[in-house]
Structure 1
Amino acid sequence: MSLTYQVLTYVGLSFGWFSFFAWKRKERLDHMHTMIIGMSMGMMIGLIAGLLFGAEYKGDLFLSTIWGMLIGGISGMMIGIPLSLLTTVEGTLSGIMAGMMGAMLGEMIPIEKMEPLLFLFVMLHTACILLLSKLIETSERETSKRKRIFTLQNPITPPVLLIGVFVWFQALPFPTMTAENDQMHSQNHTSQPAVQEINLIAADFSYNPNRIVMKKGVPLKMTFQNNGSVEHDFEVVSTGNNFVISSETNNNHQHGNTGIEKPHLHAKPGESATSVWQATKEGTYEFYCTIPGHKENGMVGKLVVM
């Protein structure tokens, strides 16, 4: 399971458990307590979701912001609905604002430096649940020795939970250095920019990968391999002089042009084609298969130039 899904699963399960814990005791909570609960949960989940999707969709701030706002806002709304109308409003707004901030952080922070910040947010989320549970009053029957064994009122539970989250977090599959960071690292030690290599595999009807990240000004050598049963191609949607093609080996579909144009590769089943090109402008571009009907069947992807 990927880093994003593991973290979201933990946050979702812990949020669900705490929400149920708070809802069962809502009669004992005053308005101030319920507002703190709604705002805190909406804010923490919005920050974590925004940060994760900001890193996942780096280069597409709009999409990561929408996901962060959506998850944060829904979380604040869900925990607030059974408590009070004011809590619902405060929790929803807090989640939306936190989702926006988290997405901006995920966009700005280099992917290899995301680990300590995400760790801080996850631990704060866990500590927040533990502290909020102390605000919720429980009856004498619920705090009996027999009942406390499996609840947050047990003094052993908080340290065990925090240590467990810490150990789990260390095992998460964090990327140590992405392809674009490799390129930047190489440029610091050589006078000429290194060549980034990408293998793009076409099937019927999909690309793998369907999201490519490249550095502006750094040559990209793309090998387009057609593993499908019919012919496929690859073309970047671009208007203006945004790409410079330096070389092209494009079997059976040779355009014969170099210089400034759209990157385009074509291959018959079982064949491949290669091209080297550079991006001159940052942005997010769509690429797709130009053969009629293939784009409509899902052969599309994103090229992010940073």
Structure 2
Amino acid sequence: MDDGTMMPGHDMSSMTAGSSAVGQPGDAAKVTQTIEIVMDDTMRFTPSEINVKAGETVRFLIKNSGKLPHEMVIGSVAEMRDHAAMMKKTPGMKHAEPNMISLNPGQKGGLIWQFTQAGTVDFACLIAGHMEAGMVGKVKVQ
């Protein structure tokens, strides 16, 4: 099923339920910083480490410069590992949540996120095998 719809049973609410340690969906009117991120077929995000301040709302401008689909998902490592395992069982799964964006080769997109608490927030590509190959990053919230 590759029609852009979410797969049955594909519930990401645990990763996006309101405000959590990873933050919450941001308001475009409150963006305080814009960060450009490039995803590529070396299974890397550039940059892979980002620094923001607690309470800050960030607009991520994301580009897939590779020849493979990639995605950026903001969440905790444990939640992302569980979800990556689910995606291996269901290739072609599409996402439609505020903490994630899936981009085809050459595509650009945006994601707005508010980092509500100090700490470290992870992001990764959950397409089967990508996170395991090192397609991960960290946001340090101070």
Q: Same fold (TM over 0.5)?
A: yes
Tell me, yes or no, if structure 1 residue 303 matches structure 2 residue 126: no
How many Å apart are 1:286 and its aligned residue? 2.0
Aligned-residue offset at 1:238: 2.9
* 1:199 is aligned to 2:9: no
Q: Distance in 2 between matches of 1:302 and 1:200?
A: 12
Please state how far the C-alpha of 1:237 moved relative to its aligned partner: 2.3
1:225 equivalent to 2:42? Answer no
**Residue deviations 1:15-69, cap 9 Å, x none?**
xxxxxxxxxxxxxxxxxxxxxxxxxxxxxxxxxxxxxxxxxxxxxxxxxxxxxxx
Describe the SS at the equivalent of 1:287.
strand
Identity among equivalent pairs (%): 31
Once the two structures are TM-superposed, the CA of residue 264 in structure 1 deviates from its matched residue by 1.1
1:151-230 alignment runs, 5 A limit: 195-204=32-41, 205-230=43-68
**How do 1:137-156 residues align onto structure 2 when only pairs under 5 Å count?**
none
How many Å apart are 1:193 and its aligned residue?
A: 6.0
How many residue pairs align between the two structures?
A: 97
Distance 2:114 2:30 in 1: 11
Partner in structure 1 of residue 73 of structure 2 = 235
Give the corresponding residue for 1:294: 130
Residues 66 and 105 in structure 2, CA contact (< 8 A), matched pair in contact too: yes
Q: Is the 8 A contact 1:224 1:266 kept in 2?
A: no
Q: Which has the higher contact order (CA 8 A, sep 6+)?
A: 2
Structure 1 runs not aligned, ≥5 long? 1-191, 240-252
Alpha-carbon RMSD across the aligned residues, in angstroms, is 2.0
Distance 1:233 1:267 in 2: 6
Distance in structure 2 (CA, Å) of the matches to 1:203 and 1:228: 4
Point out 4+ residue stretches in structure 1 off by more than 2 angstroms. Answer: none
Equivalent pair of 1:202/1:227 in contact (CA under 8 Å)? yes
Q: Which amino acid aligns with 1:279?
A: F
- SS of residue in 2 equivalent to 1:292: coil
Give, in angstroms, the shift of residue 197 of structure 1: 0.4
Query: Which amino acid letter does the alignment assign opposite residue 120 of structure 2?
Result: T
- For normalisation by structure 2, the TM-score amounts to 0.62
Match of 1:285 in 2: 121
Provide the residue aligned with 2:110 in structure 1: 274
